[in-house]
Structure 1
Amino acid sequence: MRDHRTTTALTIAAAALSLGLTACSGSGNGTGTKDEGKGSATQPSAPRTHADGTGTAGASGAAAGGTAARPAAENGRNSGSGTGGTRAGTGKSAAQAPACGAADVRVTAAKADETPTAHIVLTAKNTSGHACRLYQYPLIAFGDIHTAKDVPAVAKSNPGTPVVLQPGDPAYATVRVALGGAHEDTKAVNRFNVNLFAADGPAEGSVVVSAPAGGLAVDEAAARTGYWTYELRNGADEF
């Protein structure tokens, strides 16, 4: 009788142990331990939000996506596009710009704000559809283009490099036409000629420029011209 009870108790204990092992193997990874790593890998990390409002993937997303998680503006800067690329293109275009010819620019003259008029300002505006270079200074003839002496340039106004004009851009040159004295040897001028320089010397052709309203009283012995510059500069363009 005692042996029957003992056998029954052992049978019940073995059944309970078998059920416990079955429950463990159903919730694990086959080794009897819970697979924590597999469970976390199937859940994406929470996105992070920067102070500027842009979001990036979490740690696991960054590892998988790499640069795809960067904001578009950042990718643009890193690839060399945007403002930097535009500047490089403009510089390359300027470096290849030909000399401005008479057909590329419109030259106008305006009196300086003084009485009597001793100076004028020439404005050369690029009216072509391409960039061009203005070399040195305007070659001015206050008289017959074949016989008149070119007006000499003032060295201190030399900017040191040619002026490159994009389409529509202006350049300036100060010109002294007289000393402003009442007894100067002057002549009336209503129009005059301006020639331009090429890289190797004076260019072919010239521009006929109308004098400002009322004409000019020009003293050819006193006349001087400044170099072409992007803007007039105090000191360098005063003579």
Structure 2
Amino acid sequence: MSRIRTSRTRLVGAAATVVLAAFSLTACKDGTGTVEDGAPVPSGSSTSSASASAPTTPKGSTSSTTPTASTDRSGPSEASSSDARPAPEGSTQAAGGADSGKPVTCEGSNTKTVAEPLPRPVNHMLLTVTNTGGKPCYLYGYPAVRFGEAQSVPRADEDSKPQAVVTLKQGESGYASVKLSAADDSGSGGHKVKSLTVYFQGPSGQESVGAGAHPSLPADGTYVDDTLEVTYWQQSMDDAINW
């Protein structure tokens, strides 16, 4: 009789163990695969990887959403700093630099002067001055010519004075004619010369500026007398030879 009771007791215990195991499984999962609160998280689950990828607040920080440093600074930005860099050497923007197109005074160093005899009027010579510089130049007044070793320059025909200053762009030419001697031999002190220097005037017309020019004359010389006279510089050749 005692053996029967013992077998029943063992059977009941085994059944209770099965029930408890099933209850434990039910407590761990809700049947949908979701882990209940307090249950251990299985290794490799998606919940574990999500927790690992979440940003953590640095130790000592008061907020996990602290804004980054603003790029709106009160000082000059990098772009404005580059704008303030000095212009390259030779640039027209350099401080105090002159305008490359501003005219200068025509003189020997920025021009080329040629002297040629004219068939008409007789005993006349044409002076041609060409701008060979990099800027426009003003051809002021009239040529102050010196033939040979003369100590003075000849007078200018005031009637030939133009209304505006002759301006030569690069490569352009201005003109003046020179009366060398009287056509009727009324002049005195006639002689031949083999050299000529042309001096250029400044804005006031009372002084010579820059270097003089030394156009060549015919090898046998040029005859001049005391009736020497020049015209003012002209913008066109026709105006120069018509005086």
Under TM normalisation by the shorter chain, which class is it?
Answer: 0.5 to 0.7
The alignment partner of 2:163 has SS state of coil
> In 2, distance between residues paired with 1:230 and 1:223?
22
Gaps of at least 5 residues in structure 1 are: 1-91
Gaps of at least 5 residues in structure 2 are: 1-98
> In 2, distance between residues paired with 1:168 and 1:118?
28
> In 2, distance between residues paired with 1:100 and 1:232?
18
Q: What is the CA-CA distance between 1:186 and the residue it aligns to?
A: 1.4
> In 1, distance between residues paired with 2:114 and 2:241?
18
Match in the other structure for 1:110: 116
What TM-score, normalized to structure 1? 0.53
Match in the other structure for 1:129: 134
Match in the other structure for 1:190: 194
**2:126 maps to amino acid:** V
Max Rg structure: 2
Q: What is the CA-CA distance between 1:199 and the residue it aligns to?
A: 1.5
Identity over aligned residues, as a percent?
Answer: 25
**2:127 maps to amino acid:** L
Summarize the Cα distance change of 1:160–1:213 in structure 2 as closer, same or farther, 3 Å threshold: farther
Aligned length: 142
> In 2, distance between residues paired with 1:137 and 1:93?
26
Superposed CA deviations along residues 54-74 of structure 1, whole A, max 9, x for unmatched, are: xxxxxxxxxxxxxxxxxxxxx
**Does the 8 Å contact 2:100/2:135 carry over to 1?**
no
> In 2, distance between residues paired with 1:165 and 1:150?
24
- Give the helix-richer structure, 1 or 2: 1
Match in the other structure for 2:53: none
Selected match of 2:168 from 137, 148, 165:
165
> In 1, distance between residues paired with 2:241 and 2:190?
23
1:150 aligns with 2:153: yes
> In 2, distance between residues paired with 1:151 and 1:183?
17
